[in-house]
């Protein structure tokens, strides 16, 4: 009897052991599958069969007061991205993205924004120096069917800016469906430089966005990112084109790169690792071109690059795995190891001559840290900044008009974050206590926070005091922003106290 009992126990034990082994096997297989699928690599796999769409320049007119007037209508659309069917989208004056607005320094502009999407929205002028009430943040909501007509004077250097919705809690979704566009500023100093400047010919907007599609071609809004960043797509759109190529007819071409993605950071370079000239960053041209083979852009950042081409050659703009400040597991599942073929440049058999990129571009005044009236700390952690999440009724601090401030930004978690400040262009003073790299030497409004240590920036708040209407500072990973990783500051006159933001959470204040 005893012998039969132990045999039974042995059988039970063996059974349990096999089940455990099987579970371990399944676990390892699933783990390996998830781990392997965590990396996207489209090198050599993209068919560049579609001519790159170039957003049209927005029509404008000069009104009786000499102001340049634009009309933008946010509207629903349908678009077939060639992914197996068509999908519902949103766009400005079209079905996806919007026209490129363009204005010169010194001009007064008016933009009539009509909300035709049936949901509250707003339109923020990313990188623009303008009064807070015109900024298009979450306090300037436009009700469905309503029109909002901000106006301001363009008063900053030539730059590649952009516009996108900024409704609190819904920015990620609205941008993902297609609401974004470029806003190019011109000025005299830049017009005098020998840089490619013919829009759509040798001066090309390159709006890069990653998207996911369902098998029947619809935009997949499911949030499957394991890394906590929101949607990371496996298909790239450039100006809304999948698999794009650009016909190049000149020896040099200027690409205005905009990372218009919700969460993904890119490290742009060319497949043959050729060097190119970085000539501009978020807020304008650099003092002198920076010769490099890579330019990393987190969501919201821009770079202007000039690349040389030889007759009849083809070269692919690629995004290499970006070091975005998150290691191992977190890095892999937030796109840190992904590689994408982005856009194929196809040179014509004979190319029109183009001058060399000038050695000197524009003077860039360095802001002096000794002139700073304040140093503030911003600790980024989870979805909070300094332990607080966004409250539309709370003004976090007031900056005195005319003052210069140093902001010290620290990342305290293992998630990628970028930091965007409204109202001003800033300069990076140091990264991890060291001099910033050349690509961070110019004017910036958004910066990847890739270090655990600190990133110091400096800005001057020269204009537009308004004690009640705040500007935003926030993470530009759109899901983080929507989840509350945002705060508000006001600019006040010397001695003035901050007031109260408009009530009703800023919704539906306009006719
Ligand atoms: Cu973030």
For 36-99, the DSSP string reads HHT--B-TTT----EEPP-PPBPPEEE-TTS-EEEEEEEEEEEEE-SSSSEEEEEEESSSSB-P
pLDDT value at residue 440:
95
Distance 327 CA to ligand 1 centre (A): 16
* Ion ligand 1 neighbours, Cβ < 5 Å: 417, 475, 477, 480
pLDDT value at residue 35:
64
Q: Answer yes or no: are the C-beta atoms of 467 and 496 closer than 8 Å.
A: yes
Distance 140 CA to ligand 1 centre (A): 23
Distance 221 CA to ligand 1 centre (A): 19
Distance 502 CA to ligand 1 centre (A): 26
pLDDT value at residue 225:
64
Q: Give the list of residues 6+ apart from residue 442 with CB closer than 8 angstroms, or none.
A: 280, 281, 282, 283, 284, 285, 286, 287, 364, 427
pLDDT value at residue 120:
98
Closest CA to 416 of 319, 299, 305, 316: 299
Distance 483 CA to ligand 1 centre (A): 9
How far from each other are the two terminal CA atoms of the chain, in whole angstroms? 90
Distance 435 CA to ligand 1 centre (A): 24
Distance 385 CA to ligand 1 centre (A): 10
Distance 487 CA to ligand 1 centre (A): 13
Distance 229 CA to ligand 1 centre (A): 7
Q: Give the list of residues 6+ apart from residue 455 with CB closer than 8 angstroms, or none.
A: 408, 409, 410, 419, 428, 430, 431, 432, 447, 449
User: Residues 330-358: pLDDT tens digits?
Assistant: 677 788 889 999 999 999 999 999 999 99
Q: Answer yes or no: are the C-beta atoms of 277 and 304 closer than 8 Å.
A: no
Distance 321 CA to ligand 1 centre (A): 19
Distance 478 CA to ligand 1 centre (A): 8
8-state DSSP, 139:
T
Distance 257 CA to ligand 1 centre (A): 21
Distance 245 CA to ligand 1 centre (A): 32
Distance 329 CA to ligand 1 centre (A): 17
C-alpha distances out from residue 245 to 93, 331, 465, Å: 24, 30, 46
Distance 104 CA to ligand 1 centre (A): 33
**What are the average pLDDT values for consecutive 10-residue runs of the chain, which has 511 residues?**
71 84 77 71 95 98 98 98 97 98 98 98 98 98 98 98 97 97 98 97 98 96 76 96 98 98 97 98 98 97 98 98 75 87 98 97 96 96 95 97 97 91 97 92 95 87 97 96 97 96 57 29
Distance 479 CA to ligand 1 centre (A): 8
Distance 492 CA to ligand 1 centre (A): 28
Distance 409 CA to ligand 1 centre (A): 12
Which pair of tokens denotes residue 484? Answer: 């509350």
Distance 388 CA to ligand 1 centre (A): 14
Distance 485 CA to ligand 1 centre (A): 7
Q: What is the dihedral of CA 239, 242, 246, 252, to 10 degrees?
A: 60
User: Residues 16-43: pLDDT tens digits?
Assistant: 888 888 887 777 776 666 666 678 999 9
**pTM for the predicted model, two decimal places:** 0.93
Distance 416 CA to ligand 1 centre (A): 6
Distance 138 CA to ligand 1 centre (A): 18
pLDDT value at residue 506:
44
pLDDT value at residue 334:
86
Distance 1 CA to ligand 1 centre (A): 67
- Region of 349 please: left (phi>0), alpha (psi -120 to 50) or beta: alpha
Distance 471 CA to ligand 1 centre (A): 18
Distance 406 CA to ligand 1 centre (A): 21
pLDDT value at residue 315:
98
């Amino acid at each position: 009897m005893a012998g039969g009992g132990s045999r039974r126990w042995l059988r039970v034990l063996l059974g349990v052991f096999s089940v455990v082994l099987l579970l371990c096997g399944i676990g390892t297989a699933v783990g390996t599958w998830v781990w392997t699928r965590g990396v996207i690599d489209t090198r050599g796999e993209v068919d560049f069969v579609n001519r790159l769409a170039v957003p049209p320049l927005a029509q404008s007119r000069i009104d009786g007061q000499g102001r340049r007037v634009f009309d933008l209508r946010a509207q629903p659309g349908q678009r077939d991205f060639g992914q197996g069917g068509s999908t519902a989208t949103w766009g400005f004056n079209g079905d996806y993205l919007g026209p490129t607005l363009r204005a010169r320094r010194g001009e007064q502009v008016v933009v009539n924004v009509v909300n035709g999407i049936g949901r509250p929205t707003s339109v923020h002028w990313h990188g623009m120096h303008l009064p807070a009430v015109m900024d298009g943040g979450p306090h300037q909501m436009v009700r469905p069917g309503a029109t909002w007509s901000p106006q301001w004077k363009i008063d900053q250097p030539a730059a590649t800016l952009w516009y996108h919705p900024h409704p609190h809690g819904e920015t990620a979704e609205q941008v993902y469906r297609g609401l974004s566009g470029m806003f190019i500023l011109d000025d005299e100093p830049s017009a005098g430089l020998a840089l490619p400047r013919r829009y759509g010919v040798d001066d090309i907007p390159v709006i890069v966005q990653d998207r996911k599609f369902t098998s029947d071609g619809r935009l997949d809004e499911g949030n499957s990112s394991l890394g906590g960043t929101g949607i990371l797509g496996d298909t790239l759109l450039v100006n809304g084109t999948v698999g794009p190529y650009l016909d190049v007819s000149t020896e040099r071409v200027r690409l205005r790169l905009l990372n218009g993605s919700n969460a993904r950071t890119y490290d742009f370079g060319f497949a043959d690792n050729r060097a190119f000239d970085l000539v501009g960053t978020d807020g304008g041209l650099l003092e002198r071109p920076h010769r490099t083979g890579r330019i990393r852009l987190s969501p919201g950042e821009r770079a202007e690059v000039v690349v040389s081409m030889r007759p009849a050659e083809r070269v692919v703009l690629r995004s290499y795995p970006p070091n975005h400040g998150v290691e191992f597991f977190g890095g892999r599942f937030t796109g840190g190891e992904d590689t994408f073929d982005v856009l194929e440049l196809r040179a014509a058999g004979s190319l029109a001559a183009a001058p060399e990129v000038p050695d000197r571009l524009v003077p860039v005044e360095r802001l002096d840290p000794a002139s700073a009236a304040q140093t503030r700390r911003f600790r980024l952690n989870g979805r909070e900044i300094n332990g607080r999440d966004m409250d539309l009724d709370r003004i976090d601090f007031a900056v005195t008009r005319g003052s210069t401030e140093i902001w010290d930004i620290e990342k305290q978690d293992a998630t990628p974050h970028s930091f965007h400040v409204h109202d001003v262009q800033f300069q990076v003073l140091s990264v991890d206590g060291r001099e910033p790299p050349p690509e961070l030497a110019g004017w910036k409004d958004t910066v990847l926070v890739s270090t655990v240590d600190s990133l110091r920036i400096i800005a001057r708040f020269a204009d537009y005091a308004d004690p009640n209407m705040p500007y935003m500072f926030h993470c530009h990973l759109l899901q983080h922003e929507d989840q509350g990783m945002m705060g508000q500051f006001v600019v006040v006159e010397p001695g003035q106290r901050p007031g109260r933001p408009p009530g009703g959470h800023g919704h539906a204040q306009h006719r």
